[in-house]
Structure formats: C-alpha cells, structure tokens
Amino acid sequence: MQISLFRLSNYCLIVFLFLQTEISQAQNKVLVEKFSNVGCAPCMVYKPKFDSIVKASSDKITLLEYRTSWPSPKDPFYNLNVNDNRERVVYYEVTGIPMIQVNGKMYFTNEFTGELIDSLFKQKNQVTVTADFSLHTDTVTVQVKLNTQTELAGTYRLYATDVGGEYDNILRQNLVADGSELKLPDLKKDFEGNYIFNGVFINSKYFNAAKTKVICFLQNIETKEVVASCYASLK
C-alpha cells in the first residue's frame, strides 16, 4: 500500500492516490452504537467506564458513535453531518444521553457490561458480512459481501458507514448503494450478495484520512435487530 499525504490547509490532511484494505471475519462482532454530545456532562462522567469496557472487548465489538444536537447545538461532529446523525436519533427515538444500543437494542449505562458483550458474541451467526474499501482523493468506495446461514424474514437494511480519524468510530457519513439506501426483503438461507457503496470523502480538521475505517452492518428495519456487523480499516 502506498500513501501520499498533501496538506490542504493548516490542519487538514487528505490521502491522495489509492488506499485499500480488506478484512474477513469468521465470527460476527457485536454492534455497539453510542449517542452523546460535547455539552453532555453525564456523557463525560460515564466515558471512562464505557471506554474501559470497549477496550476489554475490542476483539468482540464493532463500535459506532453518533452525536445529538443537544444539549449543545455546536457539537462539531453533529454539525459535520446533521442528516445522518439525526436519522439514527429519530430511528432509535433517543430522548436522553448517554444512550447505548447493542445489536439494535437499548441498554442503560449500568446494563452495558463485558458479560453482556460476551453473551451476545457467543450467539450463533445468522449472517456473515465482510468488507473492503478504497479511498481516493475525494471518494470512498466500499465492497460488501453478504452470506446468510439461515432464512431471515422481514426487510433488512445493509449499512456501510464511513468513520474514523483522530476521533475513532464517530460517524462521518452513511454511504449509499446506487444513490439510495440498500433494503433487502426476506433473505433466504444460503443467500449470497455483493454490493458496492459510494460516497464523497468528507474533509474535516477532526478526521485523519489515513485512519479512516468503514463499518458495515445488517439491521432489521422493523425490529431494529442487528444480525451482523464488521469493520475494515487501513493497514
């Protein structure tokens, strides 16, 4: 892999030419979604405990963080992508923070433990998701492979989310497939699918392009259950 970095301003670097990485997983990870805000005092108090659990379970989870517009409307990570952050806040009906969703289910902070992660991680896989991605001057392209081990009733959405930088795992953008959301109804057993997601690379002083990651997950739209997740990062 060859990386060339060019300074765009006093603080922003972008990866030029071409970067690519690949990750494959034998077992799905547990998707942990956290909602917070820079003006949230309880979020800051809880952060050390949360980070400790995440660090101890890092080989078992996929972490994705969102920001709300309150209590501080000036949260830079929320304002970097208002639409995608707001979409998840509305979808999960977030009314208080810090809030944690684990595989699509809400848990109070005192319920989020290493034991919870262990129990979910040991559950039998229903689906396997793997991904690789390329990062060009101003675009992100993600290739996602989906394999089902059982039949899945209902409508599912496959997400590919661009995160990363100096502030790991904070949402940068949800990527799209053919210009729209990718919804998959009633997946059959042994189904195999290959999908391509694209997006314009968002430059910001808060993100380091060389530390970009992509998080992919499959979620039942109606029940909100997340049945598979994975991530790919630049090596």
- pLDDT given for residue 38 in this prediction: 95
| Residue extents of the structural domains in the chain | 1-28+125-235, 29-124
CATH 2.130.10.10 fits 29-124, yes or no: no
- pLDDT given for residue 2 in this prediction: 36
- pLDDT given for residue 166 in this prediction: 53
- pLDDT given for residue 214 in this prediction: 92
Rounded distance, CA 74 to CA 177, Å?
31
- pLDDT given for residue 167 in this prediction: 57
- Give the dihedral of Cα atoms 219, 227, 145, 133; nearest 10 deg: 70
CATH number of 1-28+125-235: 2.60.40.10
pTM recorded for the entire structure: 0.87
pLDDT digits (tens, 9 = 90+) for 140-191: 899 999 999 999 999 999 999 988 655 568 998 999 998 789 999 999 999 9
**137: confidence class by pLDDT, cuts 50, 70, 90:** confident
**Among candidates 63, 54, 73, which has minimal Cα distance to 35?**
63
- pLDDT given for residue 12 in this prediction: 36
| pLDDT above 60 for 78 | yes
**1: confidence class by pLDDT, cuts 50, 70, 90:** very low
| pLDDT above 60 for 225 | yes
Paired sense of beta strands 61-67 and 30-36, if any? parallel
pLDDT digits (tens, 9 = 90+) for 184-221: 999 999 999 999 999 887 777 777 777 788 999 999 99
Number of other residues whose CB lies within 10 A of the CB of residue 82: 11
Q: What percent of the chain has pLDDT over 70?
A: 86
Residues in Cβ contact with 161 at an 8 Å cutoff, skipping those fewer than 6 apart = 64, 171, 172, 173, 174, 175, 214, 215, 216, 217
Average pLDDT for 10-19: 35
Q: What is the mean pLDDT of the chain?
A: 86
**32: confidence class by pLDDT, cuts 50, 70, 90:** very high
